Each structure stands twice: as structure tokens, then as C-alpha cells.
Structure 1
Amino acid sequence: MNYTWMVIGMAAVTLFVKAVFFVLGDRIAFPLWLSRALAFVPVTVLTAIIVPMILSPHGNGLEIHLENPQLLASLVAVVVSLLSNRQLLTIASGLTAFFMLQYFFLH
């Protein structure tokens, strides 16, 4: 039952925070420094989600070795991104590398 109240509380807080900005809209003016800082939030959140999945895919500490297909595929994606600067090509090459590496490591 405690988990239910915890989820309800998190939903209420999330709804309140989003509703305040939605209802007030343009009447809220952020300082320039805060607007600049908020521009980095999506990149920061995405990084916080992706990096642990790459460096510790099984949740048992760091797995920085050549048998980690997530790490190798992410390196392929970084190289493709730096060379081509094309998002779709980066995603496709990273996914292709990941599935190929995972196939070879499992067979």
C-alpha cells in the first residue's frame, strides 16, 4: 500500500509542476542564466539514462571490456557521428553494430 501512495504522490507532484508552467505560460519569465541552463536538461537526462546502460549493462559494476557489445556499438556510433554529423546514419550504424556484435558474442 505504501508503494501506491508513493506513485500517487509522484504523479501529483509531476502533474502540479507541469500544470503550473502550462497554465501560466508566457507570464513566467526566467532569468537568462536559468534559460541557458535549462537548454542542457534534455542532453543531461539522455546522458544519465544511456551511460549506465553502456558501461554497466547487467548492473554488476563496470563492464569495460571487448565483450561488451553496448560499449563497442556506442564507440561505433560516436565515430560515425563525428565523421558524418548525420543523426539517422549514427542511429542506424550504432544499432547495426550492436545487433551484429550481440549475435557474434552469443553464438
Structure 2
Amino acid sequence: MTNTVVDLEALQAVSARLLAAADAARDLSRHPGVVRGRAADGGDDALRDAAVHFADRWSWALDRASYDARRIGELLGAAVDTYRRTERLVGADLGALRDAGRAR
């Protein structure tokens, strides 16, 4: 049997970084107008249409990446909470068992 050690601080830090990245990607995805504006200034309808399509797809992809990063970050945070709660409960139960054994 192997002992598994979970670095809860590292997991919490990864969770926080993922949530921050999700926010940044979401913010970026909501501003594709720069590409659209510059494409419209070019005067070429085909180029404009291609750039607008690219901006729309880019925005959609960033939204998806943001959603996925947020979901994983939230799940990691929940895992950290579950580990901490489990450690407290197991520690309390083991302490109670140890104390009960001494009382005999």
C-alpha cells in the first residue's frame, strides 16, 4: 500500500489561477470589436467578412475555454474543501477511538 499525500495549498493555488484565467478569457472574449472595426476599415468586403467570422469564432472559443477553466477551478476548490473536511472528520474519529481505548 502506498501513502498518498495531497498538497492542498498547491491545489488551492491552481484553482485560484484557473479561476483568474477563466475571468481573463471571458473578458477578452467579450471584446472582439477591435478585429471587426479594423477589418471594416480595410475596405475589402471579403476580408471584412473573413475577419468578422474569425472574431466570432475566436470569441466563442474563448468563451468555451473560460467556461471549462472555471468549471475545473471550481471542482478543484471543492476537492480541497472535501479533503480538509475529511481530514478533520477522520482526525476527530480517530481521536475519539483512541480516547475510548484509553478509558477501558
TM range (shorter): under 0.3
- Structure of higher CA gyration radius: 2
Select the structure that is richer in helix. 2
